[in-house]
Structure 1
Amino acid sequence: MDSRIFLILLYSMKDNLDIFRIQTNNVEPKKGRILIAEPFLPGNYFSRSVILLVAYSNKGAVGFILNKKVDLALRDVLPGFPEFNTDIYLGGPVATDSIYFIHKLGDKLPGSIHVLGNLYWGGDFDVLKQQISGGLIHPSDIRFFVGYSGWDSGQLERELKEDSWLVTDIEEETVMRDLHQESWVDFVKKAGNRYTVWENFPENPAMN
């Protein structure tokens, strides 16, 4: 049987096949862990996305998509911002008219929220601009996002029950690497052999 036909058949039966059920969701979501989208999760934002959770509680969750770079410069979205050669990523569908950031600056940036290891979220934006203007921040120390991903109370838990996301840990060094859409496969590989079948599926089997 042609491999493409086989994949389409599997896709059509995915709701009844055990290979598409996420068994490791006994790993609870929490700040500093990532969400890996299941192969068929639709939408321009979340399809093949890897999301770092920067906040999680019974009130909801906040995260940033790590692997969807956009072709923008900081000055495109922040006129008058100091010259700074860095990439911008699509953080999620919420507040896409705003810029957010994670960084490794720690206490050097007042108001930062600790996420994982030496990773922090947010902080005093005026101080950040001053430090960038003074050449005190290297592009590898910070990552900017347009928008963020957010879940109301109970929403993420419902999506986990529907096997929309695989929850797993991540090393802080990986968060700041040059990630892209295809990096989703690398994260799936690290999740274990059970998910090997995910790697071989096209984003839309019906189109192949």
Structure 2
Amino acid sequence: MKPVQPPAAGELLVSTTQGTNDFFEHAVVLLLDCDRDGALGVTLNKLDETPLSAVLPEWVELVAPPRVLFSGGPVSQHGAVCVAKVADPIEEPPGWRRVIGDIGLLHLDTPVELAAGGYTALRIYAGYSGWAPGQLEAELAQGLWYRMDSREEDIFTADPSGLWRRVLRRHGGTPALLSTWPPDPQLN
């Protein structure tokens, strides 16, 4: 039996839960960091109730459509995380840290004028999703998540509400079947 690789930054976690009414129901999480201290990521398909213009108005025109604030997860919801695609993949601009390929984290203290020319796509999240050491591995062993490769169109999708179903369908097999279930299977 082939050993299971530990979760890695840049992967997607796609929730297998339905009907739980918790934050992670139908969630698609981009992992940003995974190490011996745990894991953290942002949820790509959950919109925040707070308008982006109310908290970071100078960034609104720089973010990818839809130009809204996303809810990255239930941890530190009053903080912000910015995922950005650098314009020049061989460059590492100040305030930016690579996660995978030309996509990384941008510190929101970066002057907006510098960000305007240095990035081709941005997304801002209120809070993040976090796991203590061993917690994510335990959830994966319980079958609470599918692990999938991320694509740029997942991270910066203009249609976040359909992301969960699209990612499951492209995976095929059982995940694709799960994508066809009605929002509330009990009403089927």
Bin of the TM-score, shorter chain as denominator length: 0.7 to 0.9
SS in 2 for 1:136: helix
Contact 1:41 1:164 in 2 (8 A): no
Q: What is the aligned partner in structure 1 of residue 77 from structure 2?
A: 96
C-alpha distance in 2 between matches for 1:55 and 1:195? 24
Contact 1:69 1:89 in 2 (8 A): yes
C-alpha distance in 2 between matches for 1:83 and 1:58? 33
Contact 1:54 1:115 in 2 (8 A): yes
- Residue deviations 1:63-109, cap 9 Å, x none? 0011112354323124xx42633222110000111111100137464
C-alpha displacement at 1:207, in angstroms?
4.5
Contact 2:43 2:73 in 1 (8 A): yes
Name the amino acid aligned to 2:117. L
Matched, 1:191 2:174: no
Change (3 A) 1:204 1:173: closer
Which of the residues 81, 105, 108 maps onto 1:121?
105
Change (3 A) 1:108 1:75: farther
SS in 1 for 2:34: strand
C-alpha distance in 1 between matches for 2:39 and 2:162? 25
1:143-162 alignment runs, 5 A limit = 143-162=123-142
- The answer for unaligned runs of 5 or more in structure 2 is 62-66
C-alpha distance in 1 between matches for 2:19 and 2:157? 24
C-alpha distance in 1 between matches for 2:163 and 2:58? 30
Change (3 A) 1:31 1:203: same
Name the amino acid aligned to 1:165. W
C-alpha distance in 2 between matches for 1:163 and 1:83? 38
C-alpha distance in 1 between matches for 2:105 and 2:38? 17
C-alpha distance in 2 between matches for 1:154 and 1:162? 12
Contact 1:52 1:65 in 2 (8 A): yes
Larger radius of gyration: 1
Matched, 1:70 2:53: no
- The answer for unaligned runs of 5 or more in structure 1 is 1-24
SS in 2 for 1:70: coil
C-alpha displacement at 1:45, in angstroms?
1.8
Of Structure 1 and Structure 2, which has the larger fraction of its residues in helix?
A: 1
Of Structure 1 and Structure 2, which has the larger fraction of its residues in strand?
A: 2
Contact 1:27 1:167 in 2 (8 A): no
C-alpha distance in 1 between matches for 2:172 and 2:5? 14
SS in 2 for 1:120: strand
Q: What is the aligned partner in structure 2 of residue 163 from structure 1?
A: 143
TM-score by length of 2: 0.82
Q: What is the aligned partner in structure 2 of residue 6 from structure 1?
A: none
Q: What is the aligned partner in structure 2 of residue 84 from structure 1?
A: 60
**Matched positions, count:** 178
